[in-house]
């Protein structure tokens, strides 16, 4: 049998004989001591050094919850870099956690297939009034009834204070104590599987947060060769990176093995720098596949990237990394710029109907062509790759929260345009992602918030946030990210009164999600043809009063015609303008099966009456009578 002290993961790990083995990678230290507090009394124990530059200590009779820390070379005490539980915060000692003692009841669960994924991104702290994992679990059945198949949790790794988006975590193995800690995550995932929902965890492998970050005391976790927008880059690709790579591979395995997670969403993989013969992303995918095979269920690895690089999802045999899916922001940018008229920042590259047409047919709008925003060519074509391997959205935490005030689409465009955005998202052949509250037209904002304990770090965040939006007229109105009120403003209303816009658009989401499940044409991810019909309306005429001051009018007054599936397929006619438009010829060839402007959704359309034209922002879907919901 292999020696667990050499080959096992870092952290406090329960052994088959119920003893606990502490294992620490600390190549910067000559000596290491384990400090524990059994019965409240401080005990210091020397750790045994061993290859490859690990220290170990084994003890019997250890109870879950025992606090412990490490001392290196007679220096101060630090929490465990691989701590599974930080009940007292990022600076305090770690606690022993035994994941294997949870009694799972999801033995029949086999996961969700890629073609069936409908992702629902949520932030645990603002999803419910209580802001805990147990409270979130109480809403899972409602999401399943809506048609969601997978919940994607924003990062749970322990961060400073009680309020944070999660991307400032400094204990990648520990579930945020304020959310309920690791046991609560096990309960939520167990409940999700009973509701028929997969759970994807958002993990951050490209950087660590600025406060409580003690990694460089232990080993060479960082490199000066690269920088990220959030600080030092993690070391993955040189001769000193072996322990770092094992750290993250152990982390990926842990979520699948100990928490039964159905996948990982890897944050900003374009900021993971690795020139090794086998990229760490490919290695992570392989490690997760091994854990999934042991449990006989489907597990997904989804990357976030702004590089428009299909190699992420191509198999290794074709020079790719073999991931299951990758985000595509081009769809969001195409829809948002077209409907709002905004042209600032990266929206400079978007705003024409052609962009949306290309996003629907080719996934990446910028697939090797010139990007004015970047000043160079950008991206690469996806070719005939299955469209379920690309995740698209009209709202997500970044695109809402990285606005100055965190305002949502429902506050920027008319209701009909919100319904059109819903239709475009769910007609796309790609995997849809719905941001929490979007399904009922939530109007409460999702601004950036945090609760750093270090006044210096908090001040830097405030100044950085103001500088980011210094060019905008509303700079003075940017919410203070450290103010508890900023966090409170993001709590979901979670309400859709009967007859309201919120209830009507939620019904539209439910019906279109049912259509994605039931209609063969919408289940077809490989056959999508798009045609753009130019109308005679002069550019700039009939501009919606909802456009923000100072923004340009939408260009390309057009109707989009989308054909999904092989014969008999589905024909979709989408009016991208705030004015009524003539029907394209395709609208005379089929029966209306759904319109985003039906009365039940808040519009004026009666689908039993032959249409004379398209209403403003209307999406008309034509197919077989038996497809009607």
> What's the fold here for domain 520-627?
Immunoglobulin-like (2.60.40)
What DSSP element (H or E) covers 301? Answer: strand 300-303
- The model's pLDDT over 388-444, given as tens digits with 9 standing for 90+, comes to 999 999 999 999 998 999 999 999 999 999 999 999 999 999 999 999 999 999 999
Let me know: does 210 contact 458? Beta carbons within 8 Å.
no
> Active-site residue 304, yes or no?
yes
Which position among 190, 211, 267, 329 bears the catalytic label? 267
CATH superfamily of 4-101: Immunoglobulins (2.60.40.10)
Let me know: does 179 contact 205? Beta carbons within 8 Å.
no
pLDDT band, residue 475 (cuts 50/70/90): very low
Backbone angles phi, psi at 95, to 5 degrees: -130, 145
Residue 374 CB: number of other CB atoms within 10 A? Answer: 14
Q: Distance between CA 267 and CA 282 in Å, rounded?
A: 15
Which position among 304, 329, 395, 615 bears the catalytic label? 304
Let me know: does 147 contact 510? Beta carbons within 8 Å.
yes
| Per-residue pLDDT at 541 exceeds 50 | no
Strand-pair category, 43-46 with 48-50:
unpaired
State the average pLDDT over residues 56-69: 98
| Per-residue pLDDT at 168 exceeds 60 | yes
Question: What are the structural domain ranges in the chain?
Answer: 4-101, 114-513, 520-627
State the average pLDDT over residues 45-62: 95
What DSSP element (H or E) covers 193? Answer: helix 181-194
Let me know: does 506 contact 146? Beta carbons within 8 Å.
yes
- The reported pLDDT for the residue numbered 625 is 86
Reported as half-sphere exposure (CB side, CA atoms, 13 A), residue 403 has a value of 17
Best CA proximity match to 234, nearest among 272, 182, 264: 272
- The reported pLDDT for the residue numbered 1 is 34
- Please give the radius of gyration of the chain, using alpha carbons only, rounded to the nearest integer: 26
| Per-residue pLDDT at 606 exceeds 60 | yes
Best CA proximity match to 574, nearest among 409, 372, 423, 349: 423
pLDDT band, residue 629 (cuts 50/70/90): confident
Question: What tokens does 206 get?
Answer: 């490209």
Instruction: Judge if the upstream peptide bond of residue 424 is cis by omega within 30 degrees of 0.
Output: no
Residue 342 CB: number of other CB atoms within 10 A? Answer: 21
Topology match between the domains 4-101 and 114-513: no
pLDDT band, residue 464 (cuts 50/70/90): confident
- The reported pLDDT for the residue numbered 450 is 97
| Per-residue pLDDT at 554 exceeds 80 | no
Calculate the average pLDDT of the chain: 93
- The reported pLDDT for the residue numbered 545 is 29
Backbone angles phi, psi at 49, to 5 degrees: -75, 150
- The reported pLDDT for the residue numbered 589 is 75
State the average pLDDT over residues 11-36: 97
Taking each helix axis from N to C terminus, what angle separates 415-427 and 329-340, rounded to the nearest 10 degrees? 160
Let me know: does 91 contact 183? Beta carbons within 8 Å.
no
Let me know: does 565 contact 522? Beta carbons within 8 Å.
yes
| Per-residue pLDDT at 252 exceeds 80 | yes
Let me know: does 217 contact 70? Beta carbons within 8 Å.
no
Let me know: does 187 contact 133? Beta carbons within 8 Å.
yes
Q: Distance between CA 569 and CA 572 in Å, rounded?
A: 10
- The model's pLDDT over 75-109, given as tens digits with 9 standing for 90+, comes to 999 999 999 999 999 999 999 999 999 999 999 99
First to last CA, the chain: 59
C-alpha angle 144-150-102 in degrees, rounded to nearest 5: 95
- The reported pLDDT for the residue numbered 627 is 87
Q: Indicate the SS3 state at residue 173.
A: strand
Backbone angles phi, psi at 138, to 5 degrees: -70, -15
Let me know: does 50 contact 147? Beta carbons within 8 Å.
no
Question: What percent of the chain clears pLDDT 90, i.e. is strictly above it?
Answer: 85
Question: What tokens does 28 get?
Answer: 């910067």
| Per-residue pLDDT at 578 exceeds 60 | yes
| Per-residue pLDDT at 532 exceeds 90 | yes
> Active-site residue 274, yes or no?
no
Question: What tokens does 284 get?
Answer: 């992570």
Residue indicated by tokens 């400073």? 160
- The model's pLDDT over 287-302, given as tens digits with 9 standing for 90+, comes to 999 999 999 999 999 9
- The reported pLDDT for the residue numbered 230 is 86
Which listed CATH number (3.10.180.10, 3.40.50.10490, 3.40.30.10, 3.20.20.80) goes with 114-513? 3.20.20.80
Backbone angles phi, psi at 525, to 5 degrees: -100, 0
Q: Indicate the SS3 state at residue 181.
A: helix
In the beta sheet, which residues pair with residue 152? 121, 200
What DSSP element (H or E) covers 360? Answer: helix 353-362
Specify the range with the lowest mean pLDDT, choosing from 239-243, 475-479, 617-621.
Answer: 475-479
Whole-model pTM?
Answer: 0.95
Going by the DSSP 8-state scheme, the letter that residue 474 receives in this structure is T
| Per-residue pLDDT at 542 exceeds 60 | no
C-alpha angle 179-204-225 in degrees, rounded to nearest 5: 145
Let me know: does 447 contact 406? Beta carbons within 8 Å.
yes
| Per-residue pLDDT at 474 exceeds 80 | no
Let me know: does 153 contact 122? Beta carbons within 8 Å.
yes
| Per-residue pLDDT at 570 exceeds 90 | yes
| Per-residue pLDDT at 595 exceeds 50 | yes
State the average pLDDT over residues 244-250: 97
Which string of DSSP letters, residue by residue, matches 404-457?
Answer: SS---GGGTS-HHHHHHHHHHHHHSSSEEEEETTGGGT--S-----B--SSHHH
Instruction: Judge if the upstream peptide bond of residue 52 is cis by omega within 30 degrees of 0.
Output: yes
- The reported pLDDT for the residue numbered 232 is 87
């Amino acid at each position: 049998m292999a020696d667990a002290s050499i080959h096992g993961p870092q952290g406090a790990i329960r052994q088959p004989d119920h003893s606990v083995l502490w294992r620490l990678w600390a190549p910067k230290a000559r000596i290491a001591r384990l400090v524990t507090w059994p019965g409240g009394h401080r005990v210091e124990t020397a750790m045994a050094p061993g290859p490859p530059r690990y220290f170990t200590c084994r003890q019997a009779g250890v109870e879950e919850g025992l606090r412990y820390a490490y001392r290196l070379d007679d220096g101060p005490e630090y929490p465990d870099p691989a701590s599974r539980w930080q009940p007292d915060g990022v600076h305090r000692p770690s606690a022993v956690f035994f994941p294997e003692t949870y009694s799972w009841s999801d033995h029949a669960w086999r996961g969700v297939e890629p073609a069936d994924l409908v992702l629902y991104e949520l932030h645990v702290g603002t999803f419910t009034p209580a802001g805990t994992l147990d409270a979130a679990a109480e809403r899972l059945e409602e999401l399943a009834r809506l048609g969601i198949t997978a919940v994607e949790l924003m990062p749970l790794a322990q961060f400073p204070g009680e309020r944070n988006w999660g991307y400032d975590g400094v204990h990648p193995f520990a579930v945020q104590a304020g959310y309920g800690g690791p046991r609560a995550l096990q309960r939520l995932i167990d409940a999700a599987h009973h509701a028929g929902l997969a759970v994807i965890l958002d993990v951050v492998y490209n950087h660590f947060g600025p406060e409580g970050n003690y990694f460089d005391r232990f080993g060479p976790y960082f490199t000066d060769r690269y920088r990220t927008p959030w600080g030092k880059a993690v070391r993955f690709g040189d001769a000193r990176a072996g322990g770092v790579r094992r750290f993250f591979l152990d982390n990926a395995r842990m979520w699948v093995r100990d928490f039964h997670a159905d996948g990982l969403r890897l944050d900003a993989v374009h900021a993971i720098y690795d020139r090794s013969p086998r990229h760490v992303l490919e290695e992570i995918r392989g490690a997760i596949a091994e854990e999934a095979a042991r449990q006989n269920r489907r597990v997904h690895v989804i990357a976030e990237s702004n590089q428009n690089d299909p190699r992420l999802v191509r198999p290794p045999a074709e020079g790719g990394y073999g991931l299951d899916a990758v985000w595509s922001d081009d769809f969001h940018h195409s829809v948002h710029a077209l409907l709002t008229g905004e042209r600032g920042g990266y929206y400079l590259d978007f705003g024409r109907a052609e962009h949306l047409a290309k996003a629907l047919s080719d996934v990446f709008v910028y697939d090797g062509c010139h990007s004015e925003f970047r000043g160079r060519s950008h991206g690469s074509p996806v070719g005939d790759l299955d469209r379920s391997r690309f995740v698209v959205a009209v709202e997500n935490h970044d695109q809402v929260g990285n606005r100055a005030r965190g305002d949502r689409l429902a506050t920027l465009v008319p209701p009909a345009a919100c319904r059109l955005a819903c239709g475009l998202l769910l007609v796309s052949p790609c995997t849809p992602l719905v941001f929490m509250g979007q399904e009922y037209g939530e109007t409460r904002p999702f601004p950036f918030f945090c609760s750093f304990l270090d006044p210096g770090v908090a001040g830097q965040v405030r100044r950085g946030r103001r500088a980011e939006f210094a060019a905008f007229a509303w700079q003075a109105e940017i919410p203070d990210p450290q103010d508890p009120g900023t966090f409170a403003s993001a709590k979901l209303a979670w309400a859709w009164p009967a007859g309201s816009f919120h209830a009507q658009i939620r019904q539209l989401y439910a019906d279109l999600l049912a259509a994605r499940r039931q209609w063969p044409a919408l289940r077809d991810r490989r056959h999508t043809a798009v045609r753009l019909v130019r109308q005679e309306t002069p550019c700039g005429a009939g501009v919606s009063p909802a456009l923000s001051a100072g923004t340009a009018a939408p260009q390309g007054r057009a109707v989009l015609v989308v054909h999904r599936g092989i014969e008999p397929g589905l024909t979709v006619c989408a009016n991208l303008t705030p004015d009524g438009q003539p029907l394209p010829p395709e609208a005379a060839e089929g029966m209306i099966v759904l319109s985003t402007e039906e009365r039940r959704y808040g519009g004026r359309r009666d689908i039993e009456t032959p249409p004379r034209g398209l209403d403003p922002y209307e999406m008309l879907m034509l197919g077989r009578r038996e497809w009607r919901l």
